[in-house]
Structure 1
Amino acid sequence: MKLIEIYARKRKDIAVIEQALEQTVRSDQALLQEASQHLLKAGGKRIRPVFVLLAGEFGHYDLNCLKHVAVPLELIHMASLVHDDVIDDAATRRGQPTVMSKWDNRVAMYTGDYIFAKALDVATKLEDARLHRILSKAMVEMAIGEMEQIRFFFETEQSNRDYLLRIRRKTALLIAISCQLGALAAGAPESVVRDLYRFGYNVGMAFQIRDDILDMTGTEKQLGKPPGSDIRQGNITLPVLYALREEHLRDELLREIERIRLADGQTDVGRFLSLVRGSSAIRRAEELASRYIGKSIAALEKLPDRTAKRELAEIARFIGERNY
């Protein structure tokens, strides 16, 4: 089974969600409308809505209800990206100009705020108070994760635990609750809801680690942005933490990181990337991502045997191996 086949099976339902996203961000304010539509048209894998839909197959599948879960989750993700681009001073994302670079920081921040607000507006259509509590708690945790990332900019003495807690909040949690809320909204049994949350959490951890590896090893064409973007912004990721523990590389890596910091990221990072690529760091980070993928697939074992179960496992394997 290939990823394209999974998306093909859910094509009509994904199209409904895509249409709902477009309708939701419409605005009478011309600039908000233009910026929001620009963000939507930049695309994305829509992996969170797909997880909602597949999790919904373990209960009573009602697209109208699941839509009111999938749309807020994707909007929250989109809004967080807009804000990230401002913080990171990012000119492109997925090969397209960011809202910040096409307009300016103020337009980007207010567009992000608008999309967050629209996400909450859609979520009010969900009657189960548990879904609101889970969603709001995740948004709080995401904000904390973003603040923690800023706190640890260029901090070379941080631990692996600091990094893992940060990506749990920034990335894994939203993917975890995509699976959890899809199952809850469909009335799936509690044991199924718990297993799907575990699946999503572990996939989310692997997703971000893989993202951080690709920032070190990918090309601009693959990434839609220049490689080494993380270190330019001061973000010390897992491959860097691993490389810093290699004694023969540590001093030169520290000098490179300090040089990049003093240049405010506006400098060549080729030597820095070469040092990390030449270490065992990439392999070690890939091994940890693979362990998370293994845990995610193990979380599916007790679920009822159906197409969605096999598709979730296939998506997990794709995430563990993706190169874009």
Structure 2
Amino acid sequence: MKLAKTYTFLKKDLSLIEKTLEETVYAEQPVLHDASTQLLKAGGKRLRPVFALLASKFGDYQLDKIKNVASSLELIHMASLVHDDVIDDSDLRRGKPTVKAKWDDQVAMLTGDYIFAKALQQFTEIDDPRAHQILSKTMIELTVGEIEQIKDKYNLDQNLKIYLRRIKRKTALLISSSCQLGAIVARTDRTTEKALFKYGYYMGMSYQIIDDILDFTASEKELGKPAGSDLVQGNITLPVLYALENEEIRSDLKKAFSKPNEVTQADLQPIITKIAESSAIEKARKVSDRYLQKAYHSLHLLPENQAKEALANIANYIGNRKI
């Protein structure tokens, strides 16, 4: 089953959000407009808007309000991707040239800043101080996560705790906030809001771990970039952490990382293959599965409706996705 089929009843609402995104990123400055539009048209799963919409279905669902939350969250995600591509020196995303590849680092950074600003402008439509506090805290944590990732690049002396804290900040909190903000805008009760927040957090953790696994197990065509790109950029993900328990892999990687600025895809390809074929992949998948089970458990506290079924189906899809 394709992901979109798990929430077909949101199709019309998601079309409106897509239109809102297009209108929001419009800029009179040609380069800024072209760069922002290119990023938007590159596609994506639009998971954060989906989670916000589904969470709102547990309360007073008003599309004119929730669309502002949903579009703001997607814009924040998009902006972070533009900045990520500069930090990681990535030329491809989803098989298409990144903003920094088509223009340059400066244009990319300013485009990211512009999209962040537009996200905040969009969110001013929400008249709830608590919602603004949650979004602000999420953005702060997202930034800290990015800094931590830069600091830990090419560092083989990491542990599980460091990795989990990093992906919490970089990925999970924006997804959990999507669920929580959707609940707040719909004025659900606090028990429902808390359950949705937990679901989003556990889903975000599982999602990122699966992403890190796919970086080794999926093909270049499926990824839209060479397999093992994260490792080439010096990012130590969960499969790598487990693979480092193998002394041969640790020794090979330490040698390759001795000159981090010179490491290439070709240099690391034998190590990437070893990791993909090692037990590290299954170990990482088990960690993802544990978070997934916690996400399912969080749903037990929610009333039965179409949105709850969709959230369960999304969890099932993400836990078994191949790309």
Q: Which category of TM-score, normalised to the shorter sequence, fits these structures?
A: over 0.9
Output the CA distance in 1 between the equivalents of 2:187 and 2:261: 53
SS in 1 for 2:163: helix
Q: Partner letter of residue 290 of structure 1?
A: D
Output the CA distance in 1 between the equivalents of 2:11 and 2:230: 34
Unaligned 5+ residue runs, structure 2? none
Correspondence for 1:198: 198
Tell me the CA shift for residue 321 of structure 1: 1.3
Which has the higher mean CA deviation after the structures are superposed, 265-274 or 144-153?
265-274
Correspondence for 2:48: 48
The normalised TM-score by structure 2 is: 0.97
Tell me the matched-pair count.
Answer: 323
Correspondence for 2:66: 66
Output the CA distance in 2 between the equivalents of 1:22 and 1:274: 40
Structure-to-structure mapping, 1:1-324, within 5 angstroms: 3-258=3-258, 261=260, 263-265=262-264, 267-324=266-323
SS in 1 for 2:258: helix
1:243–1:250 Cα contact (<8 Å) kept: yes
Q: Partner letter of residue 4 of structure 1?
A: A
Output the CA distance in 1 between the equivalents of 2:257 and 2:203: 30
Tell me the CA shift for residue 220 of structure 1: 0.8
SS in 1 for 2:235: coil
Output the CA distance in 1 between the equivalents of 2:155 and 2:249: 17
Output the CA distance in 2 between the equivalents of 1:75 and 1:207: 19
1:207–1:319 Cα contact (<8 Å) kept: yes
Tell me the CA shift for residue 131 of structure 1: 0.5
Output the CA distance in 2 between the equivalents of 1:265 and 1:141: 31
SS in 2 for 1:203: helix
Among the aligned pairs, what percent are the same residue? 53
Output the CA distance in 2 between the equivalents of 1:152 and 1:290: 25
1:257–1:272 Cα contact (<8 Å) kept: no
CA deviations over 1:103-142 (Å, ceiling 9, x no partner): 1111111100000000000111100000000000000000
Tell me the CA shift for residue 266 of structure 1: 5.7
Output the CA distance in 1 between the equivalents of 2:256 and 2:271: 6
Output the CA distance in 1 between the equivalents of 2:129 and 2:9: 31
Tell me the CA shift for residue 251 of structure 1: 2.3
Tell me the CA shift for residue 2 of structure 1: 5.7
Tell me the CA shift for residue 232 of structure 1: 1.2
Distance 1:15 1:250, change over 3 A: same
Where has structure 1 moved over 6 Å in runs of 4 or more?
Answer: none
1:243–1:249 Cα contact (<8 Å) kept: yes
Q: Partner letter of residue 28 of structure 1?
A: E
Tell me the CA shift for residue 179 of structure 1: 0.4
Q: Partner letter of residue 23 of structure 1?
A: E
CA deviations over 1:72-113 (Å, ceiling 9, x no partner): 100000000000000111111011110011111111111000
Give the root-mean-square deviation of aligned CA atoms. Answer: 1.3
Tell me the CA shift for residue 286 of structure 1: 0.5
Output the CA distance in 1 between the equivalents of 2:31 and 2:2: 39
Q: Partner letter of residue 298 of structure 2?
A: A
Output the CA distance in 2 between the equivalents of 1:79 and 1:58: 29
Q: Partner letter of residue 120 of structure 2?
A: L
2:256–2:267 Cα contact (<8 Å) kept: no
Tell me the CA shift for residue 248 of structure 1: 5.0
The normalised TM-score by structure 1 is: 0.97
SS in 1 for 2:267: coil
